[in-house]
Structure 1
């Protein structure tokens, strides 16, 4: 990721929805050194913000509804959530929640792109999003897995104004000339029932050490540590409740 603070159109926040809040707080605190702080207000529903030092870096929340899977979600910064929601609909996506105010923090919406991948949009007010990006323990890359890369590219470039640069096996996304994420075709790498999805990657000092630490803390390794063609080392892990996330050592984009 080429920026260390949120920018318009780029990823600004990531949030885990889980059915075991306490387990998640302990797992990620051990893995990334996060300091979780749970909002004491009853209406906040135990929403927990994880910090590195004084910087908010991610959130852990209870599931909002029974049909919601245990999974990480990615939010993109928008100047106007209502206008962005209209663009989503016009471009063939679906708005499934909101837009709605979240206290005085900002305005929020959840949407599905035309290929079925869920994502969130955040119009910042009192809360700008992550106070730190692309540093160890913080969000550093986001990746879309989908079965229709062409349709997804058309959608996101229309809604967020992204630039897309594609190779034979991967597409990189940028906003304002700054790269922040990519897209891969799901192909045969996923079972047919696996839905398209966004996956957050957290920066770490050492990918192999992080993978071992995740297993020791009760998680699993979905994709073993490997070095990709541009020289970065990555792995895909899952927490004890099965929520997948990636880790990587910042390289060309760090």
Structure 2
């Protein structure tokens, strides 16, 4: 369960890289009711998505050569430089070296050995997102990978995550991820092997967010109307909830879920 009591290894920031930030702001406003607040010209046109005046995500232009529109998941680290060394030792790549973001914190961006991008945030003045785990905010993160065993070994070496394999079917195992400093009840994400049919269709390794919503079906309707492409239609998962997955109009993947009540 996502909370704003961030511990090392837990997701603590999220932002969208977009080729058209104005269009992206309009889309997510239509889907979730978010408002966008600019961080000012000195921040390179970066801004913050707000829910009831509190930060739920960031938004900025694409800055890396060849980058595709995508959501970037950031994980809490007490030492971004040490994490960068661990990434390299684990076979990953440092895409953006650790650097201070004004006085707010320190960040770095990486690619894991299977090709999925992610980042870390070392808090200073800004601890992380101001709201998670409630409707229209981040509730879960998920990794699609081409090599689940290699990915598990890598992230265990970098973040010391606890991992619990759950057999979803004879062909599919889903690995539930939890911070090392918390129990399974603090699980924050999942990891799964991309099936061959997804690979044949062009899927590549990537992290994507799930946003909690109060009504999955209504959200799917708004997303479609605003220009999203549905890639996983509304699905009921017993004991988990009702979810769906999209590509936003620029092509960034994300998912929504109405979590099952206890």
TM-score normalized with structure 2 length = 0.92
How far has the Cα of 1:188 moved from its partner? 2.1
Partner of 1:170: 174
Question: How well do the aligned residues superpose, as a CA RMSD in angstroms?
Answer: 1.5
Q: How far did 1:194 drift?
A: 2.8
Deviation at residue 189 of structure 1 after TM alignment:
4.1
Query: 1:5-154 alignment to 2 at 5 Å?
Result: 5-40=5-40, 42-154=41-153
Does the 8 A contact of 1:50 with 1:60 survive in 2?
A: yes
Give 3-state SS (helix, strand or coil) of 1:191's partner.
helix
Partners of 1:142 and 1:216 in 2: how far apart? Answer: 25
Q: Which residue of 2 aligns with 1:209?
A: 218
8 Å contact from structure 2 (residues 93, 111) kept in 1 = yes
Alpha-carbon distance in structure 2 between the residues aligned to 1:10 and 1:111: 16
Matched residue SS, 1:116: coil
Deviation of 1:2 (Å): 4.5
Matched, 1:197 2:192: no
Q: How much does 1:238 deviate?
A: 1.9
Partner of 2:170: none
Cα distance between partner residues in 2 of 1:154 and 1:60: 31
1:4, 1:132 within 8 Å by CA — same for their partners in 2? yes
Which whole-Å deviations, capped at 9, do the CAs of 1:122-178 have from their partners, x for residues lacking one? Answer: 101111110111111111000000011111111111111110000222110011111
CA distance in structure 1 between the partners assigned to 2:103 and 2:240 by the alignment: 42
Distance 1:60 1:189, change over 3 A: farther
8 Å contact 2:34–2:51 — kept in the other structure? yes
Q: Distance in 1 between matches of 2:64 and 2:94?
A: 16
Gaps of 5+ in 2: 168-172
Cα deviation, residue 33, structure 1: 1.3
- In the alignment, structure 1 segments of 5+ residues that lack a partner are none
Deviations 1:230-254 (A, max 9, x none): 33111001211111100001237x9
TM-score by length of 1: 0.95
SS at match of 1:190: helix
Aligned to 1:108, what secondary structure does the other structure show? Answer: strand
What whole-Å deviation, never above 9, does each CA across 1:61-97 have from its counterpart, x for those lacking one? 1000330101111000100100111111111111110
CA contact (8 A) 1:38 1:47 kept: yes
Match of 1:243 in 2: 252
- C-alpha offsets along residues 206-227 of structure 1, whole Å, 9 cap, x if unaligned? 1111111001112221110101
Please tell me whether the aligned partners of residues 72 and 119 of structure 2 are also in contact (alpha carbons under 8 angstroms): yes
Find the aligned partners of 1:53 and 1:130 in 2 and give their Cα distance. Answer: 13
Distance apart, 1:228 and its partner CA: 2.1
Distance 1:174 1:8 in 2: 10
